[in-house]
Amino acid sequence: MLYESTREKKNVLGAMEAIKQGISPDGGLFVPQTIPAVLIKDLASLVRADYRERAKFILNLYLTDFKKEDINNSVQAAYNEKSFQSPDIAPLEPLADNLHTLELWHGPTAAFKDMALQLLPHLMTRAIINTNEDKEIVILTATSGDTGKAALEGFKDVEGTRIMVFYPAKGVSNMQRLQMITQEGENVKVMGVEGNFDDTQSGVKSIFASDINKQLEDKGFRLSSANSINWGRLVPQIVYYFSAWLDLLKTGAITESQSFNVVVPTGNFGNILAAYYAKAMGLPIGRLICASNDNSILTDFINTGVYDTNRRFYTTTSPSMDILISSNLERLLYELYDRDDKKVLSLMQELATTGKYSIDGEALKRLQALMYGGYANMDQAGLAIRETFREYDYLLDTHTAVGKSVYDEYRKETGDDLATILVSTASPYKFPAYVLDALEIRPDSEDELDHLEILKKVTGKAIPGPLKGLASKPIKHKGVCEIKDMEGQVLSFLEQGLGENE
Ligand SMILES: *Cc1c(COP(=O)(O)O)cnc(C)c1O
């Protein structure tokens, strides 16, 4: 299978190159030239299979230039009980009448980005070896919190790679900072930046665009990124929708002839796009319910066809969904317009110049048939946490709570009572202060590590191992630099030998 760019479809690559390059040189995103179809009867044998077997089946359909053995080994290395705190990897838990949560946060960072970032480094190293790449790959990432930590955990000690993560020194939560500055691994470096997230991100972008790139190649390094537009981050996410459906069958919650809905707390549109691909492959998904927080740009887009970033940006209690430009939406536009690359290019140019574009006619009709868009504000999300805990003894995090609130509204509005999967994107312990607040508990400490214990005492729910261990972990990355010194920091990291980076 080949991959083509959404902005210039004659730019075509194999899966290995698409994963290595991340983004097409024309600025477009790589999409599969054809979406592979699966037949329900071919999936029957996977009902009793574990997550790894299910993953191999789906990955082999897309990553056709990878050796089967490489896919097997990558899957084995990514989804195991050393990294995931649940033997099911992505367990499905019954929540309420016909509603199930798909818990994607049992990995090393307690948020769903692990599902892709535990696998991507292994795919990337195999791609490096099999395309005779002679350079060491250097992953450079700016993070507002979750992605950086998940990328660090994924790439730590992966041969042939190094990773450097920049975070805004005052722009991440205490918990997120602690997770990053205690990062272990011989090939990792974490650095705070005196600035906000936008400064940090433009700092990294300008490193990618600068002469340093050439200089690094001469020294045997190639810069790459692990952000969510890389196809290698999307394809592992398709797997868990199949896995969830197989689990619904296994428990008898649905039969092969019934379809189901999915609710996805959405930010950059990667997670819900993976559900779209699963549906397009033949998985019997009914409606894709796209849940946003106060930054409700996607809700408006689905309801009106107008995508307008000229609006107030809200900082909310679901920070990983505080996004106004959902990059992966471009891939869906490509499908809504029957793979018309010229059309997508013109929409994206309009977005870049005016901050706005709109779709209408057949494309809008298709979007609305496919998706329902809704949003929940911070009070509504808090209420969902409180009510769900009281009614079902189940603790939601703030992002999943947005999904729950939108689901309730959807069901009331449409009467649609199909079996539904609520995608749970983070452990409630990743945002303990907000969750305590939602439960109307006022802790007598400001320290988020104390909040973990208080939340445990009140709810009786187990703290994920990786978060529990944080308090006793030594701090390994104290550094904070100015924006203008970021490039120098990258160079000095690469001049050191492995393991000399503390
Ligand atoms: C990244 C993230 C999201 C948003 O996912 P997208 O794929 O960007 O739409 C939602 N919840 C959590 C906890 C996240 O980390």
Residue 68 lies in a domain: no
CA–centroid distance, 211 to ligand 1, in Å, is 33
Nearest residue (CA) to ligand 1, atom 15? 320
Residue 466 lies in a domain: yes
**pLDDT over 90 at 323, yes or no:** no
Residue 463 lies in a domain: yes
Residue 444 lies in a domain: yes
**pLDDT over 80 at 198, yes or no:** no
Please tell me the pTM assigned to this model.
Answer: 0.94
Query: Quick one: pLDDT at residue 186?
Result: 94
pLDDT single digits (tens) 157-179: 988 899 999 999 887 878 889 99
pLDDT single digits (tens) 115-134: 999 999 999 989 988 888 88
Report the residue among 104, 425, 435 best suited for mutation to probe ligand 1: largest number of ligand atoms under 8 A from its CB: 425
Residue 438 lies in a domain: yes
Taking the CA atoms of 17, 23, 26 and 29 in sequence, report the sign of the dihedral they define.
positive
Give the mean model confidence (pLDDT) for residues 370-392.
98
Rounded Cα–Cα distance for residues 228 and 274 (Å): 12
**265 Cβ below 6 A of ligand 1:** yes
Give the mean model confidence (pLDDT) for residues 8-28.
91
Q: How many domains does the chain have?
A: 1
pLDDT single digits (tens) 235-246: 999 999 999 999
CB 455 within 8 A of CB 438: no
Residue 451 lies in a domain: yes
The residues that are catalytic are: 113
Q: Determine phi and psi for 423, rounding to 5 degrees.
A: -75, 120
**pLDDT over 60 at 231, yes or no:** yes
Query: Quick one: pLDDT at residue 197?
Result: 78
**pLDDT over 60 at 502, yes or no:** no
pLDDT single digits (tens) 253-303: 999 999 999 999 999 899 999 999 999 999 999 999 999 999 999 999 999
**267 Cβ below 6 A of ligand 1:** yes
Residue 447 lies in a domain: yes
Closest ligand 1 atom to residue 269 Cα is 9
Query: Quick one: pLDDT at residue 368?
Result: 98
Residue 448 lies in a domain: yes
Binned at pLDDT 50, 70 and 90, residue 500 comes out as low
Binned at pLDDT 50, 70 and 90, residue 247 comes out as very high
Q: Per residue in 170-183, is it b (16+ CB within 10 Å) or e — as a string?
A: ebbbebbbbbbbbb
Give the mean model confidence (pLDDT) for residues 1-17.
96
Which residues, including other chains, have CB under 8 Å from residue 352's CB and lie 6 or more apart? Answer: none
**426 Cβ below 6 A of ligand 1:** yes
Host domain of residue 463:
433-472
CA neighbor of 138 nearest in space, from 502, 492, 479: 492
**266 Cβ below 6 A of ligand 1:** yes
Q: Determine phi and psi for 493, rounding to 5 degrees.
A: -60, -40
**pLDDT over 80 at 97, yes or no:** yes
